[in-house]
Amino acid sequence: MASNAKHRILDGALDLLRAEGGGKITLEATAKQVGLTKPGLMYHFPTKEALMLAVVGHVADRWEQMMLDCLGGPLQTASPYRRIRAYVEAALSGKFDRADFAIFSDALYRDALTAAWVDRFEPWLALPDDLPGPARGRLTAARLLADGYWTAAATGVFPAPERDREQLLAVAEELLKDETPS
């Protein structure tokens, strides 16, 4: 029961960010959004920081599930190429909106939120130090292509047309083609 309430609260907080003209996550606004009193919400998330960290975790959970689905195996044994490929596929196939962008960009201003994103995405995006320079460049270029695509899709600012998505995937595949067997 508490888990369902927490998911409802986290989804409601994200809905605030989707509001026309932009919204802001506060304890009071989130409680109102989901039909709770502020003390009722604070039973689950006693501070705004706790709520924000949980929202980041909620969004990161969705990303991680998309990447695991694309990976098709355990993260721990995946090569850097396979991990970056899963990230690229998730970024180019997922549905993103302003709430995704807002909760990600809000981390820029809060160290705890930045740390939460890094903790969740570093296992996917970190490249080994001994990876040759050209390979590092290709993997980084593929990741940045994906970053740009999902950011444009989420913000609605110069999004790539859907008809170009397959070609973007092909470009990313070209960057990722020299994978060594893992």
Task: Take residue 71 and report the two structure tokens written for it.
Answer: 């990976």
Do 53-176 and 1-46 fall under one CATH topology? no
Domains of the chain by residue range: 1-46, 53-176
102-158 per-position pLDDT tens digit: 999 988 889 999 999 999 999 999 999 999 999 999 999 999 999 999 999 999 999
53-63 per-position pLDDT tens digit: 999 999 999 99
Res. 181: pLDDT tops 50: no
Residue range 1-46, CATH number:
1.10.10
**CA–CA separation, 17 and 15 (whole Å):** 5
pTM of the model: 0.90
Total number of residues shown for the chain: 182
87-116 per-position pLDDT tens digit: 999 999 999 998 999 999 988 889 999 999
User: What angle separates helix 27-34 from helix 48-71, to the nearest 10 degrees?
Assistant: 60
What pLDDT is recorded for position 179?
A: 57
**CA–CA separation, 182 and 164 (whole Å):** 30
Fold of 53-176: Tetracycline Repressor; domain 2 (1.10.357)
Name the strand (E) or helix (H) holding 2: helix 2-18
